[in-house]
Amino acid sequence: HGSPAWATERDPLQVINFPVVQLHMSLMAMRASQKDFENAMNQVKLLKKDPGNEVKLKLYALYKQATEGPCNTPKPGVFDLISKAKWDTWSALGSLPKETARQNYVDLVSSLSSSSKSSGQVEPGADRKPPGYETLVVTSEDGITKIMLNRPTKKNAMNRQMYHEIMLALEAASKDDSRITVITGNGDYYSSGNDLTNFTDMASGKVEELAKNSAILLRNFVGCFIDFPKPLVAVVNGPAVGISVTTLGLFDAVYSTDRATFHTPFSHLGQSPEGCSSYTFPRIMSPSKATEMLIFGKKLTAREACAQGLVTEVFPDSTFQKEVWTRLKAYAKLPPNAMRISKEVIRNKEKEKLHAINAEECSVLQERWLSDECMNAVMNFLSRKAKL
Ligand SMILES: CCCCC/C=C/CC(=O)SCCNC(=O)CCNC(=O)[C@H](O)C(C)(C)COP(=O)(O)OP(=O)(O)OC[C@H]1O[C@@H](n2cnc3c(N)ncnc32)[C@H](O)[C@@H]1OP(=O)(O)O
């Protein structure tokens, strides 16, 4: 629908095998590409939605590769965070030919423009429609609303949009006619926790303001879990990291595949506990077991997490989905008001306390995000030097 000329011109190259024709077509595509490259540069300036740092870095790198060729500047120092992220992304393109970089740039801009157009098209009726989610798949059947984290290629890392969408989905689930709400992940991970590219913004200009805004976002996000009125169940389909682990302490039940692991590497990342885990974990486990996880970053297997009370029950991976959903469907037949009121009785005793803990954790983290320890850990991950 309305694809730019270059998009259709590229296709014949994939089916024509005669070398001479192919060369001719390639040259035509390259000529068209240069023009489209210039158009694409203009289009970038007109994008309605900020595409996020990761995409901006890719655009930068492709632009440099297309105009100057392989990265040819000295590597910036470790504390020059923005320049280093740019340099890393450009240099990761290796010896990618200029023409290919130009084409990739055009392709990327085109995909950004069409996604901003398609979201623009729904705007007129948006007030009447349920929200469309980009990072989640939300479904409701058999009395259960399922919120599935849906960035499988990023191990369901939580970017800012996902935090916002989870809050929206929880708000909607609290009001719909379902009886139980489930959070689970798509793909092999439950979630790899906070998307570390959320912190690349931190390197630019107004760091204090960005840290403050992130702390507000985190506080609101965790607040939604504290206040959620219906039984909230985690179906942990694979490894869980960081905030996807700590918030489990605020769920009413946690079912896990035996393939999952539970990891809160806060010290490794120069950070400190969130999700009320500084309060819930020592109570659920024991203070010293919580220390091993929250301070020393010990990764637990599903069975260990179950033995320590963080996980309710572990299932073999081969039967996990079938067993868990059969059970949840049976639970969802229980009287909804009784379940809701029981949760209120249990949760109300400590709601105020949990909100206070949440506020305190967020304010400590706000400072941590500005520390060299944290910034270096994030940059090491983003420059592919460190993985958990
Ligand atoms: C608003 C701010 C609120 C802040 C709240 C604070 C929360 C604290 C936390 O959550 S701390 C935990 C942060 N998470 C991590 O440190 C995990 C980092 N990821 C990894 O170490 C690894 O990716 C892994 C061990 C989870 C998986 O390794 P594996 O080798 O199996 O897979 P890849 O590394 O190749 O991952 C596939 C692609 O996914 C990207 N990705 C994975 N996790 C994250 C992440 N947390 N943030 C950003 N990106 C992530 C990874 O970069 C790969 O992307 P690519 O295909 O484009 O290269």
Provide the pLDDT for residue 381.
Answer: 82
Nearest residue (CA) to ligand 1, atom 12: 242
Provide the pLDDT for residue 135.
Answer: 97
Nearest residue (CA) to ligand 1, atom 11: 242
ipTM of the complex: 0.99
Provide the pLDDT for residue 147.
Answer: 98
Amino acid present at 108: L
**Residue ranges in the chain modelled with pLDDT below 50:** 1-30, 118-129
Site to substitute for ligand 1 among 55, 57, 88, 155, most atoms within 8 A of C-beta: 155
For 128-185, the pLDDT digits (tens) are 445 589 999 999 999 999 999 999 999 999 999 999 999 999 999 999 999 999 999 9
Q: At what angle do helices 98-121 and 53-68 cross, to 10 degrees?
A: 150
- In angstroms and rounded to an integer, the radius of gyration of the C-alpha atoms of the chain is 24
Nearest residue (CA) to ligand 1, atom 50: 154
Q: How far is the CA of 187 from the centre of ligand 1 (A)?
A: 14
Closest Cα partner for 249 from 291, 298, 307, 311? Answer: 311
